Amino acid sequence: MDFTAKTGSAATVRTDCAIVGVYKDGRLSAAAMEIDAVSDKLVSGLVKSGDFRGQAGATLLVHKPAGASAKRLLLVGLGEAGKLDLKGWRKAHGAAVKALLGTGAKEAFSFLSSETVADADTYTLARHAAEAAEEAAYRFDELKSSLDTPPPVFGKLAMWVADRKSQSAASTGFKHGQAVAEGQSLARRLGNLPGNVCTPTYLAAAAKKLAAAHQGLKISVVEQAQMKKLGMNALLSVAQGSRQPPKLIVLEWRGGPKQKAPVALVGKAITFDTGGISIKPAPAMDEMKFDMCGGASVIGTMATVARLNLPINVVGLVPAAENMPDGLASRPGDIVKTMSGQTVEILNTDAEGRLILCDALTYSRRYKPSAVIDIATLTGACVIALGHHLSGLMSSDDMLANELLRAGIDAEDRAWHLPIGPDYDEQLKSNFADFANVAGRDAGAVTAACFLNRFTRDLSWAHLDIAGTAWKTGQAKGATGRPVPLLSQFLMSRAGVA
Ligand code: BES
Ligand code: MN
Ligand code: ZN
């Protein structure tokens, strides 16, 4: 989509559609008042008659608004007056674009940016306008033999700004927002592809394609034979029940000073999680194709980083495997020696994410990273704890944790800090190996993090459990591309560009 920042008045602007806001108590935004003044009270009439109530995210399309120069008028609900925050504003913008995608309008002019939004400057509004628009326009129909709805004609959005100076802030915001959206869309696409298409081999090929498209983005893949030599027996044990060979995908971006330690991102990519011999129940098992969304978010974030040419060093590591039951699959009780030298008793083959991550985390040490962040759809327990709104964040480094929480707030892609510590860690005790891969039902998200922390001693490490946030279930089933916005923001902040 194309984004521009312009000045102008809602009543006189020539556009396929003017987008203006209305609050829940019927109060009109400044732009809605301008339209009202030239149109014999068209907007206040719609409010009075009860046809439009201004609820957050509601929209109403009006054709040929009399007295105005726009061909269409789109009213957008802004919720309660005086309480408009970035989240609500972004939601309103997304709803507006969603509504326009089903119309004949090719472009539109949004005046929502002339309202006061708490804690948001022009850069921020532009950034979120672009992200919300791309998010709303995202479709996944490449596997349908005919389209449910024809492709939209809408493709150009102008956003109102006060003056020239704001124009340059807005264009930086658009640029950043589009880059984040590009990474997020890539993560969504990889997530939405089914397990029979998106195998570890497919993911490696997708990463290669990404690297080929971006000057300076390097790719290498650690293959099964090499994993054996490195002693990655935990990762290999997960893959051994599958016909699909595992891959450890390594994407490297060296945009910063040569000697500067990189940030390492490590993303779980189980391309399908049946549970293995500890097999999962049938209901909703199809959703376990999304079990590679952590890895997809790493690939997506690397796309954003490369697109923005960020002056920072980043290494993206994606351990990819399929968890299947089979004659060769791991048995409950099997003991493996991890790359770190520690032995693990696999009491439950469905706790496989931590097994592929632990070896990838150990592997990340060769890059001497300044911080290591792993991202994983790791536990159902995290969904019980936080639902589908916030990602779980666990860390051995409070400074790093706070940096990530802040990035989540700024990016509108939030996380919540959960504890780790020796009391929880003790639950991993095994009678036969150094420790087990499961620790009982209590605090399952936390004990999973404690397991990972046994491989990240003396690193600055954080873990994002995205089991509740990586995809939506039900009617709108599909990958969200989270936490690409959070990770991108974290790296943009570290790079000093946003
Ligand atoms: N991929 C799942 C976690 C998951 C489950 C994410 C449901 C989203 C929705 C993970 O591999 C898993 O199976 N975890 C187990 C761990 C348990 C055996 C300790 C779980 O959460 O039940
Ligand atoms: Mn599992
Ligand atoms: Zn899993």
Closest residue to atom 16 of ligand 1, CA basis: 351
**What pLDDT, in 10s, does the model give residues 176-232?**
999 999 999 999 999 999 999 999 999 999 999 999 999 999 999 999 999 999 999
Do 206 and 107 reside in the same domain of the chain? no
The strand ranges marked E within 167-298 are: 217-222, 247-254, 263-267, 269-273
Of 270, 348, 379, best ligand 1 pocket probe by most atoms within 8 Å of the beta carbon: 379
Residue ranges of alpha helices (H) inside 319-415 are: 353-364, 380-386, 398-410
Q: How many CB atoms lie within 10 A of CB 404?
A: 25
Q: Which residues surround ligand 2, an ion (CB under 5 A)?
A: 273, 350, 352
pLDDT interval class at 283 (50, 70, 90) = very high
Do 261 and 288 reside in the same domain of the chain? yes
Do 210 and 99 reside in the same domain of the chain? no
Q: Flag whether 168 is in a domain.
A: no
Q: Flag whether 61 is in a domain.
A: yes
Helices (runs of H) and strands (runs of E) counted in the chain: 15, 20
Cα–ligand 3 centroid distance for 194 (angstroms): 15
Q: How many CB atoms lie within 10 A of CB 181?
A: 27
Q: Flag whether 33 is in a domain.
A: yes
Give me the mean pLDDT over the 48-71 stretch: 97
Give me the mean pLDDT over the 467-471 stretch: 99
Give me the mean pLDDT over the 133-159 stretch: 96
- What's the whole-model pTM score? 0.98
Question: How far, in Å, CA of 331 to CA of 376, rounded?
Answer: 23
Question: Which listed residue (91, 127, 354, 414) is catalytic?
Answer: 354
List the one residue out of 468, 496, 466, 419 whose CA is nearest residue 265: 466
Q: How many CB atoms lie within 10 A of CB 345?
A: 21
Sign of the CA dihedral with 395 first, then 400, 402, and 405 last: negative
Average pLDDT for the chain? 98
Percent of the chain having pLDDT more than 90? 99
* Nearest ligand by distance to the CA of 428: 1
Percent of the chain having pLDDT more than 70? 100
Cα–ligand 2 centroid distance for 270 (angstroms): 9
Do 277 and 370 reside in the same domain of the chain? yes
- Burial letters 419-429, b for 16+ CB under 10 A, else e: ebeeebbebbe
Question: How far, in Å, CA of 212 to CA of 209, rounded?
Answer: 5
> Active-site residue 441, yes or no?
no
Do 269 and 341 reside in the same domain of the chain? yes
Do 257 and 393 reside in the same domain of the chain? yes
Residues spanned by the domain of 21: 2-162
Do 117 and 196 reside in the same domain of the chain? no
Q: Which residues surround ligand 3, an ion (CB under 5 A)?
A: 270, 273, 291, 353
Do 152 and 17 reside in the same domain of the chain? yes
Give me the mean pLDDT over the 113-126 stretch: 96
Residue ranges of alpha helices (H) inside 365-463 are: 380-386, 398-410, 422-425, 444-453
Looking up residue 197, the CATH number of its domain turns out to be 3.40.630.10
Return the amino acid letter for 260: K
**What pLDDT, in 10s, does the model give residues 340-389?**
999 999 999 999 999 999 999 999 999 999 999 999 999 999 999 999 99
Question: Which listed residue (27, 208, 280, 365) is catalytic?
Answer: 280
Looking up residue 35, the CATH number of its domain turns out to be 3.40.220.10
Cis peptide preceding 483, ω within 30 of 0: yes
Give me the mean pLDDT over the 61-87 stretch: 97
- The burial of 450, by beta-carbon neighbours within 10 Å (0-12 exposed, 13-18 middle, 19 or more buried), is given as buried
Using a 6 Å CB cutoff, which residues line ligand 1? 273, 291, 348, 350-353, 377-381, 383, 438, 444, 467
Do 362 and 394 reside in the same domain of the chain? yes
Q: Which atom of ligand 1 is nearest to the CA of 377?
A: 6
Give me the mean pLDDT over the 302-323 stretch: 99
Question: How far, in Å, CA of 402 to CA of 395, rounded?
Answer: 10
Q: Which two tokens stand for residue 464?
A: 């994002």
Do 69 and 205 reside in the same domain of the chain? no
Do 125 and 205 reside in the same domain of the chain? no
pLDDT at 477: 98
pLDDT at 148: 86
Number of domains the chain is built from: 2
Do 158 and 189 reside in the same domain of the chain? no
Q: Flag whether 169 is in a domain.
A: no
Closest residue to atom 5 of ligand 1, CA basis: 380
Q: How many CB atoms lie within 10 A of CB 492?
A: 22
Helix axes 122-137, 86-101, angle to 10 degrees: 40
